[in-house]
């Protein structure tokens, strides 16, 4: 169905049916000039917003709309997770090109709603416009942290150990596989989920925000600093160190890589290259003071110790022979001409 057959308000009604539900925390939700939202009495409000622009962040040749909706939610939930917060509410603003159908908007909101509901978050507003060129998505998530429990990027101290959850690199490798397939059929992850490359693609298209782990690291007061890995380990560790005015040593062979990545054939870079510069894994990178390590180990959070925070402000990658080299940021920068991707040996 054409969107022009429904009109703006018909489309909004449909979005509300697909993606919103009632909650006591939002006594006034979609439909008024603004939503009215309730926070827990002792909470600090967390707010984050991210844009996804067709041709910059995604390509409809390599993603289906359900996955795009899921990812638009997940990348924002991940930012709340990285503060150790609980995501509560979200708003979506869309610029929709005339080529898009009502069914495609439905698919987007089905993916979006499944992701936000899974993490206990509710859609409370947004905006809907036409776009002259390409699909434009802006998602805002509001969350809460207990007062003084939000974990910033700036709390790392020399001697703290550096941890990362899950594994890194799947998403970047998955993107490369998807790009190599352009010209073929657009495949959603569901169809390939059981194959190894399917799992890499799956992680790229439908990342998992580590909301529960982030919240527990905050309430147990175990992490001194935290960031989510959206741009690749090299860039995001650089941000954490810069904000904390410290450096770090990372041991290359400790960086957790999945079997699916290490056994994938035909990739352009060695597996660790995707971990360092691939980005979009949305794992949590955090630091733990030595006195809190015992506690962390009791928390059944899947995390690997990959290095240590240093007083000297350089960030270095140490190879298996103990040789170090500077770990320079190789993640995506929107205002540089192209990705500064240097193969990692």
Using CB under 6 A as the criterion, which residues of the chain lie in contact with ligand ADP when the complex forms?
12, 15, 30-33, 92, 94, 123, 125-128
- Residue 92 contact, options ligand ADP, Mg ion, none, Cβ 5-8 Å cut-off depending on partner type: ligand ADP
Residue 126 interacts, among ligand ADP, Mg ion, none and using kind-specific CB cut-offs from 5 to 8 Å, with: ligand ADP
Structure tokens at 238: 């650089």
Long-range contacts of 23-26 (CB under 8 A, 24+ apart): 23/122, 25/88, 25/89, 25/122, 26/89, 26/122, 26/124
Identified binder of Mg ion from the candidate list 103, 127, 212, 253, rule CB under 5 A: 127
Q: How far is the CB of 128 from ligand ADP (least distance, A)?
A: 4
Alpha carbon distance 119, 97 (integer Å): 29
Cα–Cα distance measured from residue 329 to residue 308, given in angstroms and rounded to the nearest whole number: 18
207 makes contact, choosing from Mg ion, ligand ADP, none, with CB < 5 to 8 Å by partner type, with none
Residue 64 C-beta: closest distance to ligand ADP, Å: 19
- Complex with ligand ADP: residue 136 or 168, whichever CB lies closer: 136
Shortest separation between residue 127's beta carbon and Mg ion, angstroms: 4
Is residue 253 near Mg ion by the rule CB under 5 A? Answer: no
- Our CB check for ligand ADP shows the closer of 94 and 226 to be 94
Among residues 136 and 261, whose Cβ is nearest to ligand ADP?
Answer: 136
If the CB atoms of residues 139 and 237 are measured against ligand ADP, the closer one turns out to be 139
129 binds Mg ion (CB under 5 A): no
Q: Determine the length of the chain.
A: 345
Across 30-62, b (16+ Cβ under 10 Å) vs e yields beeeebebeeeeebbebebebebbbeebbebeb
Q: How far is the CB of 90 from ligand ADP (least distance, A)?
A: 9
CA angle 170, 172, 173 (to 5 degrees): 65
Buried-state track 79-110, b at ≥16 Cβ within 10 A, e below 16 = bbbbbbbbbbbbbbbbbbeeebebebbbbbbb
Q: Which is nearer to ligand ADP, 125 or 166 (CB)?
A: 125
Is the Cβ of residue 123 or residue 142 nearer to ligand ADP in the bound state?
A: 123
Least separation, in Å, of the C-beta of 305 and ligand ADP? Answer: 42
Minimum gap (Å) between residue 109 Cβ and ligand ADP: 8
Q: Which is nearer to ligand ADP, 34 or 298 (CB)?
A: 34
* 8 Å CB contact between 288 and 160: yes
> Which H/E stretch holds residue 113?
helix 102-118
Question: How far is the C-alpha of 343 from the C-alpha of 126, rounded, in Å?
Answer: 41
Q: Give residues in contact with Mg ion (CB under 5 A).
A: 127
């Amino acid at each position: 169905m054409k969107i022009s057959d429904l009109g703006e308000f018909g489309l909004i009604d449909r979005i509300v049916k697909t993606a919103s539900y009632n909650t006591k925390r939002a006594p006034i939700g979609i439909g008024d000039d603004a939503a009215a939202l309730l926070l827990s009495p002792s909470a600090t409000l967390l707010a984050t917003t991210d844009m996804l622009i067709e041709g910059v962040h995604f390509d409809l040749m390599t993603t289906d709309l359900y996955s795009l909706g899921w990812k638009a939610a997940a990348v924002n939930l991940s930012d709340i997770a990285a503060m150790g917060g609980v995501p509560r509410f979200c708003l979506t603003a869309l610029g929709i090109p005339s080529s898009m159908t009502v069914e495609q908007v439905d698919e987007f909101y089905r993916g979006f709603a499944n992701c936000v509901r899974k993490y206990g978050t509710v859609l409370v507003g947004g905006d809907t416009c036409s776009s002259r060129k390409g699909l434009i998505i802006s998602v805002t998530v509001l969350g809460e942290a207990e007062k003084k429990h939000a974990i910033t990027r700036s709390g790392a101290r020399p001697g703290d150990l550096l941890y990362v959850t899950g594994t890194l690199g799947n998403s970047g490798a998955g993107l490369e596989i998807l790009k190599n397939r352009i010209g073929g059929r657009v495949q959603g992850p569901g169809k390939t989920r059981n194959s190894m490359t399917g799992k890499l693609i799956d992680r790229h298209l439908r990342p998992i925000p580590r909301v529960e782990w982030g919240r527990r690291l905050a309430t147990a007061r175990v992490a001194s600093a935290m960031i989510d890995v959206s741009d690749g380990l090299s860039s995001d560790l650089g941000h954490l160190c810069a904000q904390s005015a410290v450096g770090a040593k990372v041991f290359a062979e400790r960086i957790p890589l999945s079997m699916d990545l290490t056994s994938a054939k035909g990739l352009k870079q060695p597996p660790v290259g995707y971990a360092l510069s691939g980005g979009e894994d949305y794992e949590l990178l955090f630091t733990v003071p030595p006195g809190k390590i015992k506690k962390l180990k009791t928390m059944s959070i899947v995390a690997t110790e990959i290095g240590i925070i240093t007083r000297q402000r350089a960030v270095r990658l140490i190879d298996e022979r103990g040789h170090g080299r500077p770990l320079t940021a190789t993640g995506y920068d929107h205002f540089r001409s192209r990705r500064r991707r240097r193969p990692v040996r």
